[in-house]
């Protein structure tokens, strides 16, 4: 299995939503659009393995899921087999969307902008394909308070620093702020609100494995010659620090949706 395929098949380990949370997110995205448009057509850019797409597709909406990674789309295809009558899965680039101008009622973008250096191109493309009055929905998970998972990440950052590598995190939140400024420059009025909250149990061993398997985006730029010894040291620290590394600790999350509507 290639590294990209491996990440695709493991992706849901770090991006899990309980069913009731998935339902609230789906409602937060679909209800405003359905109040304005009849039989709306949704496009999700960077759909991944479909944690946002699946519950909306299951409700029978017209939904196009676009991703540049065919392995991600294959996982999604298996999830929606049998319920995807109005769904279309497209392998494509967010910076060059294969859709006509003003052809879609809503564009959904979740945990995506920070993956692109030239995100401005993808943002303009997302706005280009929206009909007048159409919606751009951005979404993200946001942790609430301290957690053991965060503590383990912090320890890894300290280990990397001792090895001469500065771990860069927080790019996601920085990019969200940049996108908001850009949307306002386009004359739009994005408004964000939390739409769901939940508690995820996660063990120290699971937190360690997520880092070891490079499932967080901030792990992927760390050079292998630094990555390997840092993870080995982190593993030893986890085993020394937690009497039972499989004991689960609560992590508090909320999901935020930011909506902007075209004039």
3-class SS letters over 176-235: HHHHHHHHHHCCCCCEEEEEEEEEEEECHHHHHHHHHCCCCHHHCCCCHHHHHHHHHHHH
Per-residue pLDDT at 16: 77
Q: How many residues does the chain have?
A: 263
| 3-class secondary-structure state, position 121 | helix
Write down the number of H helices and E strands in the chain: 9, 7
DSSP structure class, residue 114: G
CA dist., res. 22 & res. 196, Å (int): 9
What are 178's two structure tokens? 């940049």
DSSP structure class, residue 248: -
CA dist., res. 75 & res. 201, Å (int): 24
Q: How remote is the C-alpha of 199 from its chain's centroid?
A: 18
The answer to whether residue 52 scores a pLDDT higher than 80 is yes
Per-residue pLDDT at 13: 57
pTM for the predicted model, two decimal places: 0.90
Q: Which of 5-14, 63-72, 191-200 has the lowest mean pLDDT?
A: 5-14
| 3-class secondary-structure state, position 110 | strand
Sign (positive/negative) of CA torsion 7, 192, 106, 84?
positive
The answer to whether residue 14 scores a pLDDT higher than 70 is no
Widest distance between CA atoms in the chain: 58
- pLDDT category of residue 5 using cuts at 50, 70 and 90: very low
The answer to whether residue 158 scores a pLDDT higher than 60 is yes
Per-residue pLDDT at 8: 55
In sequence order, the 6+-apart residues with CB closer than 8 A to the CB of 56 are 26, 29, 30, 42, 63
Please state, in angstroms and as integers, the Cα–Cα distance from residue 231 to each residue in 179, 210, 218, 235, following that order: 33, 11, 14, 6
Mean pLDDT of 148-159: 96
């Amino acid at each position: 299995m290639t590294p990209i395929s491996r990440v695709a098949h493991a992706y849901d380990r770090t991006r899990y939503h309980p069913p009731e949370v998935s339902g609230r997110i789906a409602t937060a995205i679909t209800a405003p659009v359905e109040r304005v448009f009849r039989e709306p057509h949704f496009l999700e850019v960077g759909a991944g393995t479909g944690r946002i797409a699946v519950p909306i597709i299951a409700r029978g909406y017209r939904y196009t899921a676009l991703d540049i990674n065919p392995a991600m789309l294959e996982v999604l295809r298996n999830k929606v087999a049998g319920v995807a009558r109005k769904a279309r899965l497209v392998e494509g680039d967010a910076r060059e969307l294969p859709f006509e101008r003003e052809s879609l009622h809503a564009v959904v973008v979740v945990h995506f902008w920070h993956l692109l250096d030239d995100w401005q191109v993808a943002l303009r493309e997302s706005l280009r394909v929206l009909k007048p009055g159409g919606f751009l929905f951005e979404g993200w998970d946001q942790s609430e308070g301290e957690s053991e998972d965060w503590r383990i990440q912090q320890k890894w950052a300290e280990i990397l620093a001792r090895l001469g590598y500065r771990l860069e995190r927080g790019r996601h939140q920085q990019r969200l702020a940049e996108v908001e400024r850009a949307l306002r420059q386009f004359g739009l009025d994005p408004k964000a609100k939390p739409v769901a909250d939940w508690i995820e149990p996660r063990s120290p061993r699971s937190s360690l494995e997520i880092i070891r398997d490079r499932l967080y985006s901030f792990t992927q730029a760390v050079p292998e010659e630094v990555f390997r010894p840092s993870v080995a040291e982190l593993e030893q620290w986890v085993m020394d620090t937690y009497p039972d590394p499989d004991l689960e600790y609560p992590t508090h999350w909320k999901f935020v949706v930011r909506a902007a509507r075209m004039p």
